[in-house]
Structure 1
Amino acid sequence: MANDAAKIRFAPNGGLFMAPAPGTAGATTVLPSDVGDGKAAPEGYQGLGYVDEGGVTITPSIETDPVNVWQSAVPVLYNVKSAAFQVKATLMEFNQLTTELFFGAKWVPVKDEQGQTTGSYRLDLSSTPELSELSLVVDWSQKGILYRCVVPRAMVSDRGAIQLQRAENGKFELTIDALDSAGRLGYVLTNDDVLGLGIAPPTEGGSGSGPESDFALAA
């Protein structure tokens, strides 16, 4: 295959979206089946707002064990020990979604002795926190070429420290790990001509229609 500079991709635009994971109590989430338009949140999902200039880091990983035998000095096979799919991002906005994700708890209105709301809100940090499942979507695009990564089930696995400073805004650094969902970790949708079917890449301002690729991230 000849080198093709037109196949080099950047991600100048994008978004991070979340919803309750399908199957959790009260959840009506329907996983996206299309690549979207590169602007709007998938139906039923909410945007997590601005992400810092480092963008979003997506890391698929497979850990293997070598199978060694007497007759060979090198492994003859590798066996899959574990698989993972991780999304890391630093969120810039203070809103209900970002703060509840970071602190792992829910906001409730503060009420006075008469049961009237006071205009303040409280978030209790439990000494025995419960982990909640979420569904995550990462969108990114370059002009009319769109990509969407969908993680049906995930949990926040790590949180960075928040620094409150005079000259720099507070940030929420989150690491989110995929959970098994019917034998897969997630899937990717695109209207890019990754299969080389001869379909011209969409142009900026186009509808974003085109072939979609749905790749399982784990067998």
Structure 2
Amino acid sequence: MTLLASNVRVGITGELSVAPVGTAAPTTSISALNAAFVGLGYVSEDGVTETPNDTIENIVAWQRATVVRALTTESFFTFTLTLIETKGEVVELYYKGSTIAVVSAGQWKVEVGAAQSDPRAFVLDVVDGSKHYRTHIGNGEVTERGEIVYASGEPIGYEITITAYADANGVLFTKYADDANWGYS
């Protein structure tokens, strides 16, 4: 048995970036992002949670009431995080389908209506020292939004859940890494 503490990775820092669907995808974990991608800034200390969501339907045999097969009837991934930088791109992403408008010099507004479908491309960069991990979601959308809490001593946070949609080849997202441990030994 080989146990190597140096193979343990920690998501120390990173950033979520957003662009219109169809924006050129990155090609490596460290390649420059297309200029259309805009960084969304700080994320709360809870970081980003990537969650597989699989619905399994068991087929039970009449004899002995045992499971004889399992079917995956639904499979998707979500990414949940709380953005804590208040800036136009974050506000527009949170209030789906809304746009920031200038009212007058130094004054802006966002008219919040019923949520509209607003698919986007996303890139999540995660860095641990010299190791870079990148997730590219070519077509995703904010499908859940948490409460915004205004409280003394707490950052205003915009909790969002992004659902990754499959492309024509069934790919939900692509992960890149410059970590040699991803290779086979």
1:3 shift after superposition = 2.5
1:135 shift after superposition = 0.9
SS of the residue corresponding to residue 122 of structure 1 reads: strand
Listed one character per residue, the Cα deviations across residues 176-207 of structure 1 (whole Å, up to 9, x for unaligned) are 1111212121111111222234xxxxxxxxxx
Identify the match of residue 149 of structure 2 among 145, 163, 175.
163
| RCO comparison, higher one (Cα < 8 Å, 6+) | 2
Aligned to 1:2: 2
Are 2:134 and 1:148 equivalent residues in the alignment? yes
Aligned to 2:100: 107
SS of the residue corresponding to residue 76 of structure 1 reads: strand
Asked if the contact 2:14/2:126 (under 8 Å) is kept, the reply is: yes
SS of the residue corresponding to residue 97 of structure 1 reads: helix
1:70 shift after superposition = 3.3
Taking the TM superposition and a 5 Å limit, the aligned residue runs for 1:26-37 are 29-36=23-30
Of Structure 1 and Structure 2, the greater strand share is in 2
Separation in structure 1 between the aligned mates of residue 27 and residue 63 of structure 2, nearest angstrom: 49
Listed one character per residue, the Cα deviations across residues 8-38 of structure 1 (whole Å, up to 9, x for unaligned) are 111112111111111xxxxxx101111116x
Separation in structure 2 between the aligned mates of residue 72 and residue 20 of structure 1, nearest angstrom: 53
Equivalenced residues, count: 181
Aligned to 1:189: 176
Taking the TM superposition and a 5 Å limit, the aligned residue runs for 1:40-59 are 42-43=33-34, 44-59=36-51
**Structure 2: tracts of 5 or more residues without a match:** none
Identify the match of residue 57 of structure 2 among 65, 78, 88.
65
Larger radius of gyration: 1
Task: Please report the TM-score for the alignment, with normalisation by the length of structure 1.
Answer: 0.76
**Structure 1: tracts of 5 or more residues without a match:** 23-28, 111-116, 198-219
Asked if the contact 2:124/2:136 (under 8 Å) is kept, the reply is: yes
Separation in structure 1 between the aligned mates of residue 154 and residue 115 of structure 2, nearest angstrom: 30
Name the % identity: 28
Identify the match of residue 86 of structure 1 among 78, 83, 87.
78
1:143 shift after superposition = 1.3
RMSD, matched Cα: 1.8
1:2 shift after superposition = 2.4
Task: Please report the TM-score for the alignment, with normalisation by the length of structure 2.
Answer: 0.89
SS of the residue corresponding to residue 6 of structure 1 reads: helix
SS of the residue corresponding to residue 16 of structure 1 reads: strand
